[in-house]
Structure 1
Amino acid sequence: MADPQETEPVQIATEAPAKAAEAKKKTPRSKVARPARKAGAKSMLAETAAAATVRKTRKVYSEKERGQLLGQIEKSVGRGESVKHATGQAGISEQTYYQWKKTATAASAGGDLKDLLALEEENKRLKSLLAERLRKENAELKKKLGLN
Protein backbone atom coordinates (compact mmCIF):
# COMPACT_ATOMS: atom_id res chain seq x y z
CA MET A 1 0.00 0.00 0.00
CA ALA A 2 1.11 3.56 -0.68
CA ASP A 3 2.25 5.66 2.18
CA PRO A 4 -0.22 8.52 2.87
CA GLN A 5 2.69 10.94 3.50
CA GLU A 6 4.00 10.41 -0.05
CA THR A 7 0.66 11.06 -1.76
CA GLU A 8 -0.13 14.17 0.20
CA PRO A 9 2.77 16.34 -1.11
CA VAL A 10 1.87 15.32 -4.64
CA GLN A 11 -1.65 16.61 -4.12
CA ILE A 12 -0.34 19.90 -2.68
CA ALA A 13 2.07 20.28 -5.56
CA THR A 14 -0.69 19.88 -8.12
CA GLU A 15 -3.01 22.24 -6.27
CA ALA A 16 -0.44 25.03 -5.81
CA PRO A 17 -0.05 25.96 -9.52
CA ALA A 18 -3.79 26.07 -9.96
CA LYS A 19 -4.15 28.49 -7.04
CA ALA A 20 -1.30 30.65 -8.35
CA ALA A 21 -2.94 30.84 -11.78
CA GLU A 22 -6.23 31.92 -10.22
CA ALA A 23 -4.46 34.55 -8.11
CA LYS A 24 -2.78 35.98 -11.22
CA LYS A 25 -6.07 36.29 -13.03
CA LYS A 26 -7.66 38.20 -10.19
CA THR A 27 -4.97 40.90 -9.77
CA PRO A 28 -5.05 43.64 -12.43
CA ARG A 29 -1.76 44.74 -13.97
CA SER A 30 -0.43 48.14 -13.18
CA LYS A 31 -0.04 50.49 -16.14
CA VAL A 32 3.13 52.15 -14.86
CA ALA A 33 5.89 52.11 -17.46
CA ARG A 34 8.96 50.36 -16.21
CA PRO A 35 12.39 50.71 -17.74
CA ALA A 36 13.40 47.70 -19.77
CA ARG A 37 16.32 45.71 -18.47
CA LYS A 38 18.88 44.26 -20.74
CA ALA A 39 19.54 40.58 -20.41
CA GLY A 40 22.65 40.00 -18.36
CA ALA A 41 23.03 43.58 -17.16
CA LYS A 42 24.26 42.38 -13.79
CA SER A 43 26.78 40.04 -15.35
CA MET A 44 28.09 42.84 -17.60
CA LEU A 45 28.54 45.10 -14.59
CA ALA A 46 30.35 42.33 -12.76
CA GLU A 47 32.68 41.76 -15.74
CA THR A 48 33.56 45.44 -16.06
CA ALA A 49 34.18 45.70 -12.34
CA ALA A 50 36.40 42.62 -12.48
CA ALA A 51 38.29 44.02 -15.46
CA ALA A 52 38.80 47.32 -13.65
CA THR A 53 40.19 45.58 -10.58
CA VAL A 54 42.54 43.36 -12.58
CA ARG A 55 44.36 46.22 -14.33
CA LYS A 56 45.24 48.90 -11.83
CA THR A 57 48.34 50.22 -13.61
CA ARG A 58 48.51 51.49 -17.14
CA LYS A 59 50.57 49.82 -19.83
CA VAL A 60 53.91 51.45 -20.51
CA TYR A 61 55.26 50.93 -24.02
CA SER A 62 58.92 51.03 -24.95
CA GLU A 63 60.16 53.22 -27.80
CA LYS A 64 60.45 50.14 -30.01
CA GLU A 65 56.86 49.07 -29.27
CA ARG A 66 55.62 52.59 -29.93
CA GLY A 67 57.38 52.66 -33.27
CA GLN A 68 55.92 49.29 -34.24
CA LEU A 69 52.40 50.33 -33.27
CA LEU A 70 52.76 53.67 -35.10
CA GLY A 71 53.94 51.81 -38.20
CA GLN A 72 51.05 49.35 -37.96
CA ILE A 73 48.53 52.19 -37.63
CA GLU A 74 50.09 54.11 -40.54
CA LYS A 75 49.81 51.01 -42.75
CA SER A 76 46.16 50.54 -41.77
CA VAL A 77 45.36 54.19 -42.46
CA GLY A 78 47.20 53.90 -45.77
CA ARG A 79 44.90 51.04 -46.75
CA GLY A 80 41.91 53.32 -46.21
CA GLU A 81 40.86 52.45 -42.64
CA SER A 82 39.89 55.20 -40.25
CA VAL A 83 42.31 56.27 -37.53
CA LYS A 84 39.75 55.30 -34.91
CA HIS A 85 39.48 51.75 -36.24
CA ALA A 86 43.24 51.38 -36.69
CA THR A 87 44.02 52.58 -33.17
CA GLY A 88 41.33 50.30 -31.77
CA GLN A 89 42.97 47.33 -33.46
CA ALA A 90 46.34 48.37 -32.08
CA GLY A 91 44.87 48.61 -28.57
CA ILE A 92 45.52 52.29 -27.92
CA SER A 93 43.34 55.38 -27.93
CA GLU A 94 43.33 58.00 -30.66
CA GLN A 95 44.71 60.57 -28.23
CA THR A 96 47.63 58.28 -27.40
CA TYR A 97 48.30 57.78 -31.11
CA TYR A 98 48.42 61.51 -31.79
CA GLN A 99 50.64 62.14 -28.74
CA TRP A 100 53.08 59.42 -29.85
CA LYS A 101 53.05 60.72 -33.41
CA LYS A 102 53.81 64.24 -32.16
CA THR A 103 56.75 63.10 -30.01
CA ALA A 104 58.09 60.85 -32.78
CA THR A 105 58.02 63.77 -35.23
CA ALA A 106 59.80 66.01 -32.73
CA ALA A 107 62.39 63.31 -32.05
CA SER A 108 63.04 62.78 -35.75
CA ALA A 109 63.40 66.54 -36.22
CA GLY A 110 65.91 66.52 -33.37
CA GLY A 111 67.67 63.63 -35.09
CA ASP A 112 67.84 65.65 -38.30
CA LEU A 113 69.45 68.49 -36.40
CA LYS A 114 72.03 66.10 -34.95
CA ASP A 115 72.76 64.77 -38.43
CA LEU A 116 73.19 68.30 -39.75
CA LEU A 117 75.59 69.20 -36.94
CA ALA A 118 77.60 66.03 -37.58
CA LEU A 119 77.81 66.88 -41.30
CA GLU A 120 79.01 70.40 -40.49
CA GLU A 121 81.74 69.01 -38.21
CA GLU A 122 82.87 66.59 -40.91
CA ASN A 123 82.85 69.42 -43.46
CA LYS A 124 85.14 71.52 -41.22
CA ARG A 125 87.52 68.59 -40.78
CA LEU A 126 87.70 67.94 -44.51
CA LYS A 127 88.26 71.62 -45.31
CA SER A 128 91.15 71.82 -42.88
CA LEU A 129 92.63 68.62 -44.31
CA LEU A 130 92.38 70.01 -47.85
CA ALA A 131 93.91 73.33 -46.80
CA GLU A 132 96.87 71.52 -45.22
CA ARG A 133 97.50 69.49 -48.39
CA LEU A 134 97.29 72.58 -50.56
CA ARG A 135 99.85 74.37 -48.34
CA LYS A 136 102.27 71.44 -48.68
CA GLU A 137 101.88 71.34 -52.47
CA ASN A 138 102.32 75.10 -52.66
CA ALA A 139 105.49 74.91 -50.57
CA GLU A 140 106.88 72.14 -52.82
CA LEU A 141 106.16 74.15 -55.97
CA LYS A 142 107.89 77.23 -54.54
CA LYS A 143 110.98 75.10 -53.77
CA LYS A 144 111.07 73.72 -57.29
CA LEU A 145 110.67 77.13 -58.81
CA GLY A 146 113.23 78.65 -56.48
CA LEU A 147 110.90 81.32 -55.17
CA ASN A 148 111.90 80.74 -51.60
Structure 2
Amino acid sequence: MADLKEIDPTQAPAETPAKEQTPEVKEKAPKPRKKTGQQRRPLRPGAKSAPQASSSKAVTSPTARTARKIYSEKERAQKLGEIEKQIGRGESIKAAVQKAGISEQTYYQWKKAAGQTTQSDGLKDLVKLEEENARLKKLLADRLRNENAELRKKLGLA
Protein backbone atom coordinates (compact mmCIF):
# COMPACT_ATOMS: atom_id res chain seq x y z
CA MET A 1 0.00 0.00 0.00
CA ALA A 2 2.89 2.27 0.54
CA ASP A 3 3.59 1.91 -3.16
CA LEU A 4 0.07 3.07 -4.01
CA LYS A 5 0.43 6.16 -1.84
CA GLU A 6 3.67 7.05 -3.54
CA ILE A 7 2.10 6.80 -6.99
CA ASP A 8 -0.84 9.00 -6.10
CA PRO A 9 1.25 11.91 -4.80
CA THR A 10 3.43 11.90 -7.95
CA GLN A 11 0.41 12.03 -10.22
CA ALA A 12 -1.19 14.89 -8.35
CA PRO A 13 1.86 17.19 -8.56
CA ALA A 14 2.18 16.37 -12.28
CA GLU A 15 -1.31 17.69 -12.88
CA THR A 16 -0.77 20.79 -10.78
CA PRO A 17 2.29 22.10 -12.67
CA ALA A 18 0.44 21.62 -15.96
CA LYS A 19 -2.19 24.07 -14.76
CA GLU A 20 0.48 26.45 -13.50
CA GLN A 21 2.29 26.41 -16.86
CA THR A 22 -0.64 27.83 -18.82
CA PRO A 23 -0.14 31.58 -18.95
CA GLU A 24 -2.96 33.81 -17.97
CA VAL A 25 -4.02 36.06 -20.81
CA LYS A 26 -4.47 39.66 -19.82
CA GLU A 27 -6.66 41.68 -22.12
CA LYS A 28 -5.27 45.07 -22.92
CA ALA A 29 -7.44 48.04 -23.71
CA PRO A 30 -6.84 49.46 -27.20
CA LYS A 31 -4.63 52.52 -27.32
CA PRO A 32 -6.38 55.73 -28.32
CA ARG A 33 -5.46 57.06 -31.77
CA LYS A 34 -3.91 60.42 -32.32
CA LYS A 35 -6.29 63.03 -33.64
CA THR A 36 -3.82 64.60 -36.05
CA GLY A 37 -4.33 65.06 -39.77
CA GLN A 38 -1.80 62.39 -40.64
CA GLN A 39 -2.17 58.81 -39.52
CA ARG A 40 1.07 56.87 -39.39
CA ARG A 41 1.27 53.27 -40.40
CA PRO A 42 3.51 50.93 -38.47
CA LEU A 43 6.83 50.38 -40.21
CA ARG A 44 7.97 47.04 -41.48
CA PRO A 45 10.80 45.51 -39.52
CA GLY A 46 14.06 46.94 -40.79
CA ALA A 47 12.37 49.70 -42.80
CA LYS A 48 13.67 53.23 -42.51
CA SER A 49 11.30 56.08 -41.82
CA ALA A 50 10.46 58.42 -44.67
CA PRO A 51 11.63 62.04 -44.63
CA GLN A 52 9.29 64.51 -43.00
CA ALA A 53 6.84 66.39 -45.21
CA SER A 54 8.15 69.68 -43.85
CA SER A 55 11.54 69.19 -45.49
CA SER A 56 12.05 71.27 -48.63
CA LYS A 57 13.24 68.44 -50.88
CA ALA A 58 12.18 64.82 -50.65
CA VAL A 59 14.90 62.27 -51.29
CA THR A 60 13.87 59.50 -53.67
CA SER A 61 15.71 56.29 -54.24
CA PRO A 62 16.46 55.19 -57.83
CA THR A 63 13.91 52.39 -57.52
CA ALA A 64 11.16 54.70 -56.29
CA ARG A 65 8.07 54.77 -58.43
CA THR A 66 7.52 58.04 -60.21
CA ALA A 67 4.36 59.59 -61.54
CA ARG A 68 3.20 58.21 -64.85
CA LYS A 69 3.95 60.45 -67.84
CA ILE A 70 1.96 60.28 -71.03
CA TYR A 71 4.07 60.84 -74.13
CA SER A 72 2.80 62.16 -77.46
CA GLU A 73 3.38 60.22 -80.67
CA LYS A 74 6.29 62.53 -81.60
CA GLU A 75 7.95 62.04 -78.22
CA ARG A 76 7.53 58.29 -78.50
CA ALA A 77 9.05 58.29 -81.98
CA GLN A 78 11.97 60.42 -80.76
CA LYS A 79 12.65 58.15 -77.79
CA LEU A 80 12.40 55.04 -79.97
CA GLY A 81 14.83 56.65 -82.44
CA GLU A 82 17.30 57.50 -79.67
CA ILE A 83 17.11 53.97 -78.30
CA GLU A 84 17.63 52.46 -81.77
CA LYS A 85 20.70 54.68 -82.32
CA GLN A 86 22.18 53.62 -78.99
CA ILE A 87 21.49 49.96 -79.74
CA GLY A 88 23.15 50.45 -83.14
CA ARG A 89 26.26 51.74 -81.36
CA GLY A 90 26.46 48.45 -79.49
CA GLU A 91 24.78 49.44 -76.24
CA SER A 92 22.42 46.98 -74.55
CA ILE A 93 18.67 47.50 -74.77
CA LYS A 94 18.41 47.70 -71.00
CA ALA A 95 20.97 50.51 -70.74
CA ALA A 96 19.53 52.42 -73.70
CA VAL A 97 16.01 52.24 -72.28
CA GLN A 98 17.21 53.43 -68.87
CA LYS A 99 18.93 56.43 -70.48
CA ALA A 100 15.70 57.25 -72.30
CA GLY A 101 13.83 57.18 -68.98
CA ILE A 102 11.29 54.49 -69.76
CA SER A 103 10.90 50.83 -68.81
CA GLU A 104 11.73 47.90 -71.05
CA GLN A 105 8.06 46.89 -71.14
CA THR A 106 7.12 50.37 -72.33
CA TYR A 107 9.83 50.23 -75.01
CA TYR A 108 8.54 46.93 -76.37
CA GLN A 109 4.92 48.12 -76.28
CA TRP A 110 5.82 51.32 -78.13
CA LYS A 111 7.90 49.39 -80.63
CA LYS A 112 5.03 46.99 -81.28
CA ALA A 113 2.55 49.87 -81.70
CA ALA A 114 4.97 51.73 -84.01
CA GLY A 115 5.43 48.58 -86.08
CA GLN A 116 1.69 48.23 -86.53
CA THR A 117 1.27 51.85 -87.61
CA THR A 118 4.17 51.63 -90.06
CA GLN A 119 2.60 48.55 -91.63
CA SER A 120 -0.72 50.32 -92.02
CA ASP A 121 1.10 53.47 -93.20
CA GLY A 122 3.02 51.33 -95.67
CA LEU A 123 -0.23 49.91 -96.97
CA LYS A 124 -1.68 53.41 -97.36
CA ASP A 125 1.47 54.51 -99.16
CA LEU A 126 1.24 51.51 -101.47
CA VAL A 127 -2.39 52.33 -102.34
CA LYS A 128 -1.43 55.98 -103.04
CA LEU A 129 1.43 54.86 -105.26
CA GLU A 130 -0.86 52.53 -107.22
CA GLU A 131 -3.40 55.34 -107.72
CA GLU A 132 -0.67 57.71 -108.89
CA ASN A 133 0.72 55.01 -111.18
CA ALA A 134 -2.70 54.50 -112.79
CA ARG A 135 -3.12 58.27 -113.27
CA LEU A 136 0.31 58.58 -114.88
CA LYS A 137 -0.41 55.62 -117.20
CA LYS A 138 -3.61 57.32 -118.42
CA LEU A 139 -1.75 60.59 -118.96
CA LEU A 140 0.98 58.82 -120.95
CA ALA A 141 -1.60 56.92 -123.02
CA ASP A 142 -3.39 60.19 -123.90
CA ARG A 143 -0.13 61.86 -124.94
CA LEU A 144 0.89 58.89 -127.07
CA ARG A 145 -2.54 58.83 -128.80
CA ASN A 146 -2.28 62.55 -129.57
CA GLU A 147 1.27 62.16 -130.88
CA ASN A 148 0.25 59.16 -132.98
CA ALA A 149 -2.69 61.08 -134.43
CA GLU A 150 -0.44 64.04 -135.36
CA LEU A 151 2.08 61.76 -137.07
CA ARG A 152 -0.70 60.10 -139.13
CA LYS A 153 -1.95 63.50 -140.25
CA LYS A 154 1.57 64.57 -141.26
CA LEU A 155 2.10 61.34 -143.17
CA GLY A 156 -1.35 61.49 -144.71
CA LEU A 157 -2.42 58.12 -143.39
CA ALA A 158 -5.52 59.29 -141.61
Where does 1:1-148 land on structure 2 (aligned, <5 Å)? 37=46, 41-43=48-50, 55=67, 58-148=68-158
Report the residue type matching 1:42 in the other structure. Answer: S
State how far apart, in whole Å, the 1-side matches of 2:91 and 2:144 are: 60
1:93 Cα deviation from its structure 2 partner: 0.9
* TM-score, normalisation: structure 2: 0.55
CA 1:131/1:82 → structure 2, altered by over 3 Å: closer, same or farther? same
Q: Higher helix fraction: Structure 1 or Structure 2?
A: 1
Identity %: 63
Q: 1:136 to 1:80 in 2, by over 3 A?
A: closer
> Aligned partners of 2:150 and 2:93: how far apart in 1?
68
Shift of 1:81: 2.6
Per-residue CA distance 1:96-140 (angstroms, 9 max, x = gap): 100111111222222222222222122111111111111112222
Q: Taking structure 1 as the reference length, what is the TM-score of the superposition? A: 0.59
**Which blocks of at least 5 consecutive residues in structure 1 are unaligned?**
1-35
Change (3 A) 1:77 1:140: closer
The letter of the residue matching 1:125 is: R
Count of residues in Structure 1 that have an aligned counterpart in Structure 2 = 105
1:134 is matched by which residue type in structure 2?
L
Task: Specify whether residues 133 and 90 from structure 1 end up closer, same or farther in structure 2 by C-alpha distance, changes over 3 A only.
Answer: same
Q: Which residue of 1 aligns with 2:12?
A: none
Letter of the structure 2 residue corresponding to residue 61 of structure 1: Y
Give the superposition deviation at 1:66. 0.6
- In the alignment, structure 2 segments of 5+ residues that lack a partner are 1-44, 54-58
Shift of the 144–89 alpha-carbon distance from structure 1 to 2, 3 Å rule, reads: closer
- CA deviations 1:43-96 (Å, max 9, x no partner) are 37x967xx76x84xx211011111111122122222333222221222211111
